Structures are given as C-alpha cells and as structure tokens.
Amino acid sequence: MLTTEEITPLTATALTATPRATAMVKALTRKHGPLAIFQSGGCCDGSLPLCLLASEMLPSPNDVLLGHVGDAPVYIDREQYERWGEPGFLLDVAAGAPEGFSLGEGDAHFVSAPLSGWACQAQAA
C-alpha cells in the first residue's frame, strides 16, 4: 500500500476549489468517512473527477497529488497531467446525479475545469 509520501505533490496553485465544492467534500466526509478524488483522464465529459471512499481506490505510483479539498486528496495520473500541459484545476459542483461510481450529494456532482495549460487553451478556442 502506498503512503502519501510516495506520491509526488504539486504546488498549491495546481488545484483550486469553489466554496460549493469544499462544502460538498466536507458533507460527504461527514457522511461516508475519508475520501479521495481522482481527476479522470477521459475526454470532454469523460474527464469528470471521481470522488470515492479513500479505501476504495488507492493512488498509484504514477499519480501526482494536485492538492487537497478539505481533508480529501485530489490526484491525477502523471502522464495525463503532463499531456494536458500541466494545468491547474478548478473543482466545482454541478447539478445532476454523479456519473459512474463517484459520490455526490443528492442531485449534485463534482466537475472540474483546467485553469491553465494547453487543455485550457483548447477549450477556449
């Protein structure tokens, strides 16, 4: 099992969370216990962050730590992060049921958007 010391942390600017996202992480933590969030490496709609119980999916040696929202670590695959131009991310909440196995609150789920890097530039074009 990996420890957080084995995961490469990034700068504090790699992750920003809205107050809604922070509140939802805190509410889900109170309800379910420790969480971990993984920025998926899909394309477009497949790029939603997955919020899971920390024990359900452990980070791999290929993951980097973007930062924390509340007490929840937020990870991304290192190769995906580099391929996207090492962007910063904004974690937010949107209406609708969460996709896949991700935890959410009622009719709300986590979404993310790149704040820098070529992925952000491509979205703006």
Taking only the tens place, the pLDDT of each residue in 55-111 is: 999 999 999 999 999 999 999 999 988 888 888 888 999 998 887 788 888 788 888
What is the domain range of residue 35? 12-124
Query: Is residue 3 domain-resident?
Result: no
CA 106 to each of CA 11, 22, 58: distance values in angstroms, whole numbers, following the listed order: 32, 16, 25
Instruction: Give every CB contact of residue 4 below 8 A, 6+ residues apart in sequence.
Output: 65, 73
Is a pLDDT exceeding 60 seen at residue 7? no
Question: The domain spanning residue 18 has which CATH number?
Answer: 2.60.300
Q: Is residue 33 part of a domain?
A: yes
Domain count, the chain: 1
